[in-house]
Amino acid sequence: MVEGALRAGCRFFAGYPITPATEISEVLSVKLPRVNGTFIQMEDEIASIGAVIGASLAGVKAMTATSGPGFSLMQENLGFAVIAEIPCVIVNVMRGGPSTGLPTFPAQGDVMQARWGTHGDHPIIVLSASTVRECYDMTVRAFNLSEKFRTPVILLIDEVIAHMREKIVFLENEEKEIFNRVKPTMPPEWYIPYENTPSGVPPMANFGEGYRYHVTGLTHDIRGFPTLRQDEIGPFINRLHRKISAHFSEIQSAEYFQTEDAEITLIAYGCVARSAKRAVIEAREKGLRVGLLKLITLWPFMRIAVEKVIQTSKVLIVPEMNMGQISREVKRVSRGMARVFTLNKVDGTIITPSEIFNRIREVI
């Protein structure tokens, strides 16, 4: 994730120590100053995300990393980044909750919090990863999406993946597309900072580059000034949603493993997707037609992927390390066209391939 962040052009990190995300801070505190970047350890997570938003406003790509309790503290300012449309990346290495919970044990209990944690009706992008290589790729992607759509992007990793050691291969001269925010090109007096552009994403001027404008957490008009007018509030909130919903194909991604002919499809993400993949292999060996849909983009939820697998699968199993957060979404979008079974585990241990395999046996 550190390498991904540096590759994506991240040059500012503010964080507060918390297990199991501290390693990201430690490594960036060594590496960022080497590349003329800035690392700062703040007094808490509220301050960390505040500093990250400030740095981004000044034109520097910025990130923070935390775990459950810290992520809870960040929610208010996360909403600020949404309404003021400030690109930034927030890594949440999920541990067992609620509250202090299980600091050193994995969980996937923050999926709904990542979607709805900050108050108010808002869109959000949440990515996950299930391999070390994916951590790298998704960090780059998180920055790219945040810059492109002027939005905070949350990277939800679980403790297992975050602490995993795994060989990763970088191909020689590996090209990674890096996206930088679109800046205004018009003269400052013509600049409308929150203009309703066709894509829904207005160009972003950095502080100190000649475009003096107002940034606020209050609902604002296209010039950035607070507004109470119905004809300005509605279009603004609609644009915030539209800039994400009009670009699902760019934002959403998933992996399909042996789903073409699958009668049963497992839907998993993070470390559970690894166990699920193993379970698919074992089931196939036993002659069961099982496939895996691995979700990479968690939010906006990938309805299209579920619709694709239910063309062949009338049984869906959603193993996850919570009491059923993504399974609710799967039930919602499958609209009764497939039976949806859950496999929930919240005891601080991972879901094993045999547990998933046993669940497959149970439901058929």
Partner 1 sequence: MPEVTKLIHKYLRHDKKFPHVWCPGCGIGIMLGALIRAIDRIGYEKDEIVLVSGIGCSGRLPVYVDFNTLHTTHGRALTFATGIKLAKPSLKVIVIMGDGDAVAIGGNHFIHAARRNIDVTAIILNNSIYGMTGGQNSPTTPYGMRSTTTTYSNIEQSFRISELAVTAGAVFVGRGTVYHAKLLDSLMEKAFLKQGFSVVEVIAHCHTQYGRQNRLGSAVEMMQWQRDHAIPVEKSLKMKSEELEDKILIGVLVDKELPVYQDEYEKIRDRARAAMEK
Binding site for partner 1 (CB under 8 A): 11-12, 14, 30, 33-34, 36, 38, 40, 42-44, 46-60, 62, 76-77, 80, 206-210, 212-218, 223, 225-226
Nearer residue to partner 1 within complex by CB, 37 or 270: 37
The C-alpha atoms of residue 219 and residue 92 are separated, in whole angstroms, by: 27
Residues 6+ apart with CB under 8 A from 285: none
Q: Which amino acid is at 345?
A: K
3-state secondary structure of 197: coil
The C-alpha atoms of residue 65 and residue 61 are separated, in whole angstroms, by: 14
Nearer residue to partner 1 within complex by CB, 226 or 234: 226
Paired residues of 157 in beta bridges: 93
Nearer residue to partner 1 within complex by CB, 227 or 258: 227
Q: Which amino acid is at 53?
A: I
Nearer residue to partner 1 within complex by CB, 19 or 38: 38
Residues 280 and 257: beta-carbon distance below 8 Å: yes
Q: Which amino acid is at 25?
A: S
The C-alpha atoms of residue 52 and residue 120 are separated, in whole angstroms, by: 21
Residues 6+ apart with CB under 8 A from 139: 1, 3, 4, 5, 7, 8, 89, 91, 155
Paired residues of 158 in beta bridges: 94
CB of 190 to partner 1, least distance (A): 15
CB of 65 to partner 1, least distance (A): 15
CB of 212 to partner 1, least distance (A): 5
CB of 52 to partner 1, least distance (A): 6
CB of 18 to partner 1, least distance (A): 16
Nearer residue to partner 1 within complex by CB, 11 or 243: 11
